[in-house]
Copies of this chain bind each other. A is one copy, B any other.
Amino acid sequence: MVLKQQMENHIPTNQEIAIKLSRYGLKITPQRVAVLGALIKLCHHPSAEDIFREVVQVIPGLSQATVYNTLDVLVQRGIASKIATSTGVMRYDLIEQPHHHLFDETNSRIEDYYDPELDQILKMYFSKKKIKGFVPLEIKLHVIGAFRDNVV
């Protein structure tokens, strides 16, 4: 098991981000490159507001609506996902591979959690156990707990 940010060692260039946008059939604009760049950089599941604050430093005329629009577009294309939180503020998450979420509600921290073994267990469970009248498509674990830094 490994937390997300430990897996991300490469900070992509604007060019690489632009290529990613066009691979998904999106027009390349400075705003989109910067928003996606911020989403990659701010790996602790930023809110739209977090991304705005980050990007407006580079693009001073940036509109909040552009951030919301761009994030929606990224979600629609499957580049990002939207996480609903208990405070009602949406948080955004870059999609790389399927993963679960660890929530610490005392400090609003969210981390991704990967474990192929866990996914295997869940896959087996749901293939064996049919739910009457419901077709499951996506299975996500929502683990609420407490981050204890410097503790194993």
A interface list, Cβ under 8 A from B: 1, 3, 82, 84-86, 88, 90, 102, 104, 111, 113, 115, 117-118, 121-122, 125, 129-152
Instruction: Give 21 A-B contacts (CB < 8 Å), ordered by A residue.
Output: A84-B86, A84-B88, A88-B88, A88-B90, A115-B129, A118-B129, A121-B125, A130-B152, A133-B147, A133-B148, A133-B149, A137-B144, A138-B144, A138-B145, A139-B141, A139-B143, A139-B144, A140-B142, A140-B143, A141-B142, A142-B142
Q: B133 to A152, Cβ gap below 8 A?
A: yes
Number of this chain's copies in the assembly equals 2
Interface contact A134-B148, CB-CB below 8 Å: yes
Contact B140 A145 (CB under 8 A): no
| Contact indicator A84/B85 (Cβ below 8 Å) | yes
Docked complex Cα distance between A136 and B100 (Å): 13
Q: How far apart are A137's CB and chain B's nearest CB, in angstroms?
A: 4
* Chain B residues within an 8 Å CB radius of A117: 129
Cβ–Cβ < 8 Å partners of A146 in chain B? 134-135, 137
CB distance from A28 to the nearest CB of B (A): 28
